[in-house]
Amino acid sequence: MSYQNSNVGIIFPLYVYPTPEAVAGVWSPVAQASHTVPVIAIVNPNSGPGDSQLPDASYQAAIKAMRSQGNGEKLLLLGYVALTYGKRPFEEVVGDIRKYGGWNELSGGALALDGIFFDEMPSASDAEQPYPHSGDFGGRPHVLSTFTQSMAAFTRSLRWRNGRGAVVVTNPGVLDVTASDFAGTFGGDVTMAFETTAAEWKQKNGSEVARLLAGRQGSNHPAAVAIHSIDQKSVAKTARQLRSLAGVRYVFVSDRVMPNPYDALPSGWNEIIQALA
């Protein structure tokens, strides 16, 4: 699959409960953006799928609204799963993935997702560290890299929207190897290469960023970059700068700040979309 910078999209963690106000102010605009640029939206009912086999009525209505308002080919909805840097028990992670995958059949396809967003990935430097729990790694060593590879493979073994294969996004937060090497070690179709504040991003060396985003033999592995706490006047400008970086496939930029920069749209939302189109 080829990813070109002429087709950079938005990645948006929907870490806001879908009240009617939040659906109108966040969920729906994110879905509608997919008519202009590709969109990955991350659904997170309760730091995962929650205890029930299906999400509550508000989440169900919000997901259905996104599907009806978005571009079916360019809007991907992924379920949030935390790996806790490789410390979560195997069966807990499998249970979360299986539950998200089950939304498809239990809802007759109405709540089908497109795959999984794995948050809190281990770093590459910890790839060969022992995995602290039991689990079926297909006869491979019980280390963190084979744990995450097994989770990605299990995700792809399930039936997702329209019977398609899963999209797997991994988020180490900050890379310590190239995005291509990270994907080769841990699995994943898109790597969240950086999730950071604007101040921390400015401190990064440009050549080092380019090296980490670069792929093998001139072929860039799709990377995502999320930058928040940006000066309000610089949000769209930052989107344009990220769009120009080789390997960047999805972008999140916002003037919103911690503890949750994802609970509302950033300033200049439409300008951001046009900057990426």
DSSP string across the chain: ----GGG-EEEEEE-S---HHHIIIIIHHHHHHTTTS-EEEEE-SSSSS-SSSS--HHHHHHHHHHHHHS-TTTEEEEEEEE-GGGTS-HHHHHHHHHHHHHHHHHTTTTT---EEEEESPPPGGGTTSBPSS----TTS--BHHHHHHHHHHHHHHS--GGGPPPEEEE--SB-SS-HHHHHHHH--SEEEEEEEEHHHHHHS-HHHHHHHH--GGG-PPPEEEEEES--GGGHHHHHHHHHTSTTEEEEEE-S--TT-TTSSPPTTHHHHHHHH-
Please tell me the pTM assigned to this model. 0.95
pLDDT digits (tens, 9 = 90+) for 201-246: 999 888 888 888 876 545 568 899 999 999 999 999 999 999 999 8
pLDDT greater than 50 at residue 1? no
pLDDT digits (tens, 9 = 90+) for 3-58: 344 579 999 999 999 999 999 999 999 999 999 999 999 999 999 999 999 999 99
The structural domain count of the chain equals 1
Domain region containing 85? 5-276
Q: What is the CATH number of the domain that holds 207?
A: 3.20.20.80
**Please, which pLDDT band fits residue 176 given cuts at 50, 70 and 90?**
confident
